Amino acid sequence: MEKMKGVENCMRYGLIYEKTGFQNMEMTYSVDMVRYAFAFDKTACCSLSKDMQHLYDYLSDKIRTDLYKTSRSFGYKDLFTFSSDYDDRDSSVITVGIGLNGVNRDDAFKCFLEFNPNKVDADILCMVVDALHPNCTKHWLKLVRWDLAVDIPVQRSQACFYKDRRDYAYYKSARKGVTTYLGQRNKEGFTKLYDKTLESGLAENLTRLEITFGEMDLPTMPQVYIDTNSQEELLLNLSGTNRVLALLLNQLDTGDFETYYNMLNYKLKKKLEPYVKHGVRLEYDFKVIYSLMMRLKALEKNFDLSSDWHNIKFMDEESPFDKGN
């Protein structure tokens, strides 16, 4: 299959990230996942299916290819996955969903393209785009979701976010450690905080914060606190009811914390003080976030995509973070 023009100049693995400092720590910000919505032309249904099947057959002898078909409501009729390994831990995964099983007639023409730009195999991505583009509407790609990853070089027990009014979930396993969630999955502002050391089998301490961005300028950013001392070690000095109180207080948002903490007697407040609301609040580097978004837009240009694909409001404007500097 003929590759797209400019494939040799495509950005490759590990390029859409930046390092920045915070509290004498080196933090890494990266774009962890992007999802684009598009629609295929109503007259190109057969052509799209044929081209994607041809690509699937062509690549099946070279990389792992999977095709899942379903008629389940709100699933995609055809779900293609193209995976190629870099090493034991990292792999490029490109997913394409064709034809949403929705409630409206036009849903049948809805599709999505999803990948991690820091791990994507540029050659495979070009082939996928090459197969999709001729069959789709003129302004075909719209960025509907992307995940910002912030890597914090501390143990998972040294980082937490305080609950706000959004949904909250806590999960713990022997294999992946503690993971906490805030918000609704796949929605703007959805937050995940987990143990990257266990998840990826790393030698160093690393906690990852993931925040989902969508069509708004910025989602609701979680209040994350980082402790230079391990909360697990500190809580060893508490037992029974006092330990439970400290753990519960640390899960409250600022308003609720003040309400319930002030209801305790003076002696108990002083005892719990070293273990609650402990640490420094993470200050997000919004200039770095904006720079990542510009790099993401630059990546698109390497694939000859539509110049107006990006729907985030300030993408084509002067950086709002530079004003007044």
CATH, residue 126: 3.30.160.110
Q: What is the mean pLDDT of residues 162-189?
A: 87
Cβ atoms of 258 and 287 closer than 8 Å: no
- Residue at 1 is within a domain: no
**Which tokens is 112 given?**
């999505």
Of 92-106, 137-151, 220-234, give the lowest mean pLDDT range: 220-234
Same domain, 151 and 296: yes
* pLDDT for the residue numbered 254: 61
Same domain, 214 and 191: yes
pLDDT tens digits, one per residue of 116-125: 988 888 888 8
Q: Which amino acid is at 70?
A: T
Highest mean pLDDT out of 64-73, 125-134, 303-312:
64-73
Same domain, 77 and 111: yes
Query: Distance between CA atoms of 119 and 13, rounded to whole angstroms?
Result: 4
* pLDDT for the residue numbered 169: 87
**Which tokens is 318 given?**
């002067």
- Residue at 311 is within a domain: no
Same domain, 99 and 166: yes
**In this model, does residue 302 exceed pLDDT 60?**
yes
* pLDDT for the residue numbered 247: 78
Confidence of residue 232 (pLDDT cuts 50, 70, 90): low
Number of domains in the chain: 2
Higher pLDDT, 67 or 169: 67
Residue range(s) defining the domain that contains residue 171: 7-224+282-301
Same domain, 113 and 156: yes
**In this model, does residue 144 exceed pLDDT 80?**
yes
Q: What is the pTM of this model?
A: 0.76
**In this model, does residue 6 exceed pLDDT 60?**
no
* pLDDT for the residue numbered 231: 60
- Residue at 198 is within a domain: yes
Q: What is the mean pLDDT of residues 220-225?
A: 88
- Residue at 322 is within a domain: no
Same domain, 194 and 272: no
Q: Percent of the chain at pLDDT above 70?
A: 79
* pLDDT for the residue numbered 10: 40
The three-point CA angle 94-99-103 to 5° equals: 135
- C-beta atoms surrounding 260 within 10 Å: 13
Higher pLDDT, 297 or 318: 297
* pLDDT for the residue numbered 323: 44
Give how far the C-alpha of residue 187 lies from the chain's centroid of Cα atoms, to the nearest Å.
11
* pLDDT for the residue numbered 4: 36
**In this model, does residue 273 exceed pLDDT 90?**
no
Cα separations in angstroms, 273 against 171, 242, 250, 264, 290:
26, 11, 11, 11, 37
- Residue at 2 is within a domain: no
Confidence of residue 303 (pLDDT cuts 50, 70, 90): low
Q: What is the mean pLDDT of residues 28-35?
A: 93
Confidence of residue 89 (pLDDT cuts 50, 70, 90): low
* pLDDT for the residue numbered 114: 95
Of 69-78, 125-134, 212-221, give the lowest mean pLDDT range: 212-221
